[in-house]
Structure 1
Amino acid sequence: MYISGISWEHRGQNITALCWDTTTLRVFIGDAGGKVSFLRAGSSKLGKGSAFVIFPVQTITTVDSKVVQLGYQDGRLLVSSLSRCYLCDTEREKFWRVGNKERDGEYGACFFPQSRGSVLGQPPLLYCARPGSRVWEASFSGEVLSTHQFKQLLACPPVPLVSYRCELQYSSAQRSPQSVAFPKLLYLSDQNLLTWTDSAIYVFVPQCGQVLLWTEIKDVVDVAVFRSELFCLRCDGHLTHLSLLPVERCVERLLRREYWLLAATICCMFQHVIVPSRARKCLPTDRLEYLRSQLNPSIQQDLASQLEEVILRLEPLDSASSSRRSSISSHESFNVLDCGIYRVISRRGSQSDEDTCSLVSQSMLEEERLKEFNFVQEEEPLEQGKGCDL
């Protein structure tokens, strides 16, 4: 396999954004000067082998400032710069702005597929970050439909990052409202919106105007997602793998790996998730009783006593979680996702502060450090016909 092709289209500028169009093997490129281009990849026969060929770069447009993020969906390219978001119809070569108000700083934007229950073929939505923890929701044609404000909702406590390598830390105390600039936005499975800063990761349910969770994690440079898996590039070059899991499935995984102390701690910490009957599918009563038997009563007496209290309150599998359902249905509509998370849709003016954060503690992030990948740039001469520069 050989890779060939050289382009000087972005010479003198840092490449700041990349985006693949997998259907036609195109990669879109944005740089610090605002130039947006694309190149097409293909393969051809070369002697006895095959070559992966990069065709010449074609400039699409130049926007007003540095390109922060690119997105592509169904023939349209979304360009987020330091001041605006732009839509480009790549087939008809038409451009238009998303919204009228400018901004100043690094704010991301992404396409967002409509929910599974929508009409087949319905176009995706756009989400564009705004100052002060706000996000625009826009149509596929770029018309702003609504503004979501997450500043007050982010006063909820962060969920713990569950790791085998450090002690679990969690405080249920409320925080101050957060005014955050979201530098990039990504679609995360099951209608969630992911963003991050250098000190935290945030997951929203934008169509319900809810914060699903946020957690503190430092030195995150970039994030890629696959289904409910997050791959985080850190400042030191390490790659961290995070899995978004409901509490009961997190405990189930810890039990399989015999992390008894951590599993028991989570059961006691989030007992409002463990007690209801729906958790019996993953955590039958006998498994939790076995967990209790694995604790050392002389060293972990308090934890064993707390777990015993949780076990005594467990609802059987065929019992309806009437208390939880009635507390929600009295003033809210909701549905339950496949993973067991309650998605709450509040009626205007009826939501209390406690209900605002009702989704936050239903899910957790479990950290699984991959092999210690160190991404170190090494200056090595490229062999002719085996390298590619943009």
Structure 2
Amino acid sequence: MNTKYLLVENISDINAIIKQPLQLTQRIKFTAFDVSKSFVVFGASSGGLYVFNRHPHQFLKLIPSKEGSIVQVCISPDEKHISLASSKGAVVIIPNCFNENYIQYQANYEHRGNIVTAIKWNGDELYCGDNTGRITVISLPSLLAKAMFQPNCATLMQLDSRIIQIDSYSKFLLISTLTRTYICDTDKEQYRQIGKKLRNGHFGASFFSNNLDSNRVLSETLKKRGIFKKSIDDEQFYAQINDNVQIFCTRPGARMWEAKLSASVTRTHQFKNLLKEPADVINWDDNLDTRLVMNSSPTSDLRMDELNFSKVLVLDNKFIITFNRGTFYIFDPTTEVIICWCNYFKNIKDFKVTNYFIYIWDDSLEVRIIALYTLEQIILKTLFRKQYYLSGELCCHYSSDVIDLIEFSANNIHLVSILKEKLTDQNLLQQLSPIFNAIDSYTNKKVIVQRLTTGIVAINPFFNDEKIEKEQPPESLHILKDLGANVTEKLTERTKNLKQKFQIFETTVKNLTLVDNNSNKNNSTAPSEDHIAKLNNSNLIKTSTDDLDAMKVFQQQYQMSKINDKLETPKFYQLLDKHNLNSVVQLFHNFLNNSKDSVADKANVKLWCFTQYLRYLLKNHTGDIQNLNNDDLTVQYALEGFIELNQSNCSCTCSYPTPSAKEHIPKYYELGCILTKKIWSSKSQLLDEMTKKVPYMWKYILKDLRNNDTIDNILPLLMQFGDEDLVENFSGKFKYDEWDDALKLLAKLRNFKCVNCDENFVETSDVMSWTGFGTILLKSVGAQSTINLLTRYSDIIPSNELDAHFYQMCIFTTAVGGISDKAIGFTKLMQSNDTTALEFDNVVKKFLRRSYTKRSLNGEKRNSLLCSKTVLRCSFCDLPLETPLLTDYVTLSCKHLYHAICYKYNENICEKCKECV
């Protein structure tokens, strides 16, 4: 049963309390904050730190500093120290500030003149990153070294762009910049980029492990560290460790990479199409008579820019949480689903988590405290606080989920039956009657009582004799039946300590396994007629010891996968490696046939078989598949499994893919490409089934298998699939007439009609936008031809479909001429930055207001300027300084030249000099 999670806002007096210290002044504002298990700390524009207690909310102390306005605050994990970063680039550590009244300051100025954008504690080391990409580490000295040394500080790396987030695990650092994510081995002083594809934005990354312990105890000796070197791809990056550590990196378009410590990306999670209704937020205060109040999140469709994730945090050591300015998402790495998301809170300034609490700080400097509870937790908490009406209304609102808890869970939800006595509202009691009836039905079930040979009475014993007799030999059955009594009797001896109890249990299980194995061997040597009959009735194909052992290994792996799909038993893959590929298929068939599950569960077993087989092929045998015939059992089973695991309802009745198909990236895509290539030449029915049920494979077919086709043959398919990167790849083949045809097809698609059969498909935001198509057109034919083509269809293009950014690209491309790719790239870069977007808009407006002679804008002079060997170029964008639209430029003391807007975008840092550092 899936666990139901709810978002609960704790209505408290925290905002009134945190504003009390500032009541006598209007000049000081809070500028940064952090939260730990016991404290909430705010940094202020005055340079002071305001420390508050979390439980209860209470102002504790003010810690002043002289370094200026605070931009970052970070509490150490052991709650001993606070670190802060000022707007001047100073990093200050204040050790033991929570418990001692005597305040000491340990300041470092490695980032002077820059803006520190991320700080992270790891034991007694503080890692800092700034807007230029510099990473430093500050190590607190030990007691012995305090009198001799200042805090040890070293520059570790100089990366390509602003640091967005820093995370740590053991000896590893995870660093996210605007364009990349790096993992660093601090012992080897090496770092490596995660993944290959770049990005551009405030995306973060975080380590995740169920046994995550970021509070690593570092060596007492101060480490001398130098600049980290970049690890090459072939070099071993890390020593094998046992922890099942995952790395999650946010990507554009509501995507998230999952990677390993080796820096290899294992999968991409796409959440855009998995976002169902946003979660409501329940208000909860301390009033005993409080009633259920729910704040509903807006249900209107989100814009694509609102779907981008940002920093990544770990919530309650179970979930991944990420957020942007108006939305946050909670992701369960175990089940690989978003358990809830919320867009109720707007203008999020900063976001912190501790345990299962979420602290949201908005632009109005208000703090909102949200908790993530299971349905059972919040119902019982309100019950124990004697908020009976709130508890009853929660049960009514989620009645079906509560009944499921009663029927399928052995927890304490049945305690809500006390509401019969506590509530006087007859209408509410009437609504609760189905829940009370379910509790009565559950408690009145027939109780099975069995007296064991030891004299102990077992109620509802764990073992089902009838089922076990079919699967175990008699000796094993006897051991299993006595195991509960044996262990219970011995573990209840009060004279035994915990270690002795564990040893008793372990010995009992070992004896069970030994007897079980011996019984299997004896029975396989001389099986009785009754036992053979039972094996035949169980649909076992063979009765050899090897086959029985193989099914046992399969069963162990299957049960382990139910706990965690990523867990693997060594015996399982050792068993598969002993057989050829066709024999492995037969093993999976045998396991499925021997399954005693229900029809519904048997379908799950079948999917599990497909998953394990494809994973095995992808891991070890992709090369072998390419050498097999299409009618080979291995190929047929792999095709069936790939289609079964990835089928989506994203095809038209005419078998053309609908635009939403491009968002359903298949599992084991690399293997799917190999299989598609194998069946491509035969043009068989399997190919039709593949493309209809897994329409995303059209991307591989168009890009790799039909790349030599004429544009006329593939244009309808290309436009309906609607992948902008794919269209841009083929744009070199387009002539003016083909672009005109493409515009007609897009007009039909924007009306949600299939371009092949004119059937309507479900309205979706996945259809290529006019702006996206116009940008590709602009790169291919230039601004003038683009405008001419679009003007031809102006009556069918809605006025708001081509935004101001598109027209700015057209203007700038016209102004620079001959280098449209650079011009478009530059325009997108300026538009994506909050600092330069407004200024670029003003630059374009000024340009349009100017009066130019025809000669100043004709192509001949412009092109001769761009082609001149002596033309001066901007050190940042590489466009000519004499670009008509960008008239202002600066000459730095280092003699490098910049457009004024480029210099501002780069935060007044010389890019060239930075590269030389």
Give the alignment's TM-score, normalised by structure 1: 0.71
Distance 1:32 1:308, change over 3 A: same
Q: Secondary structure at the match of 1:126?
A: strand
2:205 aligns to what? 109
Confirm whether residue 136 of structure 1 aligns to residue 257 of structure 2. Answer: yes
Confirm whether residue 5 of structure 1 aligns to residue 106 of structure 2. Answer: yes
Q: Quick one: distance in 1 between partners of 2:160 and 2:382?
A: 50
Which of the pair is proportionally richer in strand?
A: 1
Confirm whether residue 21 of structure 1 aligns to residue 132 of structure 2. Answer: no
Q: Quick one: distance in 1 between partners of 2:444 and 2:261?
A: 44
Q: Secondary structure at the match of 1:137?
A: strand
Corresponding residue to 2:412 among 282, 301, 309: 282
Deviates more, 1:219-228 or 1:195-204: 219-228
Q: Is the 8 A contact 1:37 1:59 kept in 2?
A: yes
Deviation at 1:270, TM superposition (A): 1.4
Q: Is the 8 A contact 2:282 2:292 kept in 1?
A: no
Q: Show the 5 A alignment for 1:194-205.
A: 194-205=321-332
Deviation at 1:264, TM superposition (A): 1.7
Distance 1:115 1:349, change over 3 A: farther
Q: Show the 5 A alignment for 1:170-209.
A: 176=301, 179=304, 180-189=307-316, 191-209=318-336
Q: Quick one: distance in 2 between partners of 1:294 and 1:32?
A: 59
Q: Quick one: distance in 1 between partners of 2:241 and 2:326?
A: 39
Q: Is the 8 A contact 1:152 1:178 kept in 2?
A: no
1:169 aligns to what? 294
The number of residues matched between the two structures is 324
Deviation at 1:88, TM superposition (A): 1.7
Q: Is the 8 A contact 1:106 1:181 kept in 2?
A: no
Confirm whether residue 81 of structure 1 aligns to residue 209 of structure 2. Answer: no
Deviation at 1:148, TM superposition (A): 0.2
Corresponding residue to 1:316 among 424, 435, 442: 442
Deviates more, 1:261-270 or 1:144-153: 261-270
Corresponding residue to 1:297 among 412, 425, 428: 425
Corresponding residue to 2:381 among 229, 253, 271: 253
Distance 1:260 1:219, change over 3 A: farther
* Identical-residue share of aligned pairs (%): 25
Deviation at 1:326, TM superposition (A): 8.2
Corresponding residue to 1:33 among 117, 127, 132: 132
Q: Quick one: distance in 1 between partners of 2:363 and 2:375?
A: 29
Q: Secondary structure at the match of 1:245?
A: strand
2:179 partner amino acid: S
1:198 partner amino acid: R
Q: Quick one: distance in 2 between partners of 1:44 and 1:28?
A: 21
CA RMSD across the alignment:
3.7
Distance 1:280 1:121, change over 3 A: closer
Q: Is the 8 A contact 1:32 1:65 kept in 2?
A: yes
Deviates more, 1:240-249 or 1:96-105: 240-249
Deviation at 1:43, TM superposition (A): 4.8
Q: Is the 8 A contact 2:210 2:317 kept in 1?
A: no
Confirm whether residue 153 of structure 1 aligns to residue 274 of structure 2. Answer: yes
Unaligned runs of at least 5 residues, structure 2: 1-101, 213-239, 446-459, 461-596, 606-643, 650-917
Q: Quick one: distance in 2 between partners of 1:142 and 1:213?
A: 28
Q: Is the 8 A contact 1:85 1:128 kept in 2?
A: yes
Deviates more, 1:62-71 or 1:179-188: 179-188
Deviation at 1:261, TM superposition (A): 2.6
Deviates more, 1:220-229 or 1:135-144: 220-229
Q: Secondary structure at the match of 1:28?
A: strand
Q: Show the 5 A alignment for 1:61-76.
A: 61-76=157-172
Q: Quick one: distance in 1 between partners of 2:277 and 2:648?
A: 15
Q: Secondary structure at the match of 2:645?
A: coil
Distance 1:159 1:330, change over 3 A: farther
Confirm whether residue 60 of structure 1 aligns to residue 156 of structure 2. Answer: yes
Q: Secondary structure at the match of 2:392?
A: helix
Q: Secondary structure at the match of 2:250?
A: strand
Corresponding residue to 1:348 among 645, 648, 658: 645
Q: Quick one: distance in 1 between partners of 2:297 and 2:363?
A: 29
Q: Is the 8 A contact 1:264 1:292 kept in 2?
A: no
Q: Secondary structure at the match of 1:57?
A: strand
Q: Is the 8 A contact 1:157 1:175 kept in 2?
A: no
Q: Is the 8 A contact 1:155 1:178 kept in 2?
A: no
Deviation at 1:106, TM superposition (A): 0.5
1:228 aligns to what? 356
Q: Quick one: distance in 1 between partners of 2:438 and 2:314?
A: 38
Q: Secondary structure at the match of 1:208?
A: coil
1:132-156 Cα offsets, whole Å, 9 max, x none, are 1100011101111110011111123
1:66 partner amino acid: R
1:80 partner amino acid: S
Q: Quick one: distance in 1 between partners of 2:645 and 2:161?
A: 39
1:59-89 Cα offsets, whole Å, 9 max, x none, are 1112111111001112121110111111222
1:147-198 Cα offsets, whole Å, 9 max, x none, are 0011111123314334228952266997647742221111233542111223
Q: Quick one: distance in 2 between partners of 1:202 and 1:55?
A: 39
Q: Is the 8 A contact 2:292 2:393 kept in 1?
A: no
1:312 partner amino acid: N
2:196 aligns to what? 100
Q: Secondary structure at the match of 2:117?
A: strand
Deviation at 1:38, TM superposition (A): 0.9
Q: Is the 8 A contact 1:4 1:54 kept in 2?
A: no
Deviates more, 1:125-134 or 1:71-80: 71-80
Q: Quick one: distance in 2 between partners of 1:330 and 1:226?
A: 41
1:73 partner amino acid: Y
1:253-292 Cα offsets, whole Å, 9 max, x none, are 11122222321221112122211335563222xx434324
Deviation at 1:200, TM superposition (A): 2.9
Q: Is the 8 A contact 2:283 2:295 kept in 1?
A: no
1:282 partner amino acid: N
Q: Quick one: distance in 2 between partners of 1:63 and 1:214?
A: 33
Deviation at 1:351, TM superposition (A): 9.6
Q: Is the 8 A contact 2:359 2:369 kept in 1?
A: yes
Which of the pair is proportionally richer in helix?
A: 2
Q: Quick one: distance in 2 between partners of 1:274 and 1:252?
A: 12
Distance 1:84 1:44, change over 3 A: same
Corresponding residue to 1:211 among 338, 341, 350: 338
Q: Secondary structure at the match of 1:251?
A: helix
Distance 1:219 1:317, change over 3 A: farther
Distance 1:259 1:151, change over 3 A: same
Q: Quick one: distance in 2 between partners of 1:43 and 1:231?
A: 33
1:212-258 Cα offsets, whole Å, 9 max, x none, are 11233344433333333334444444444433221011011111222
Q: Quick one: distance in 2 between partners of 1:330 and 1:312?
A: 32
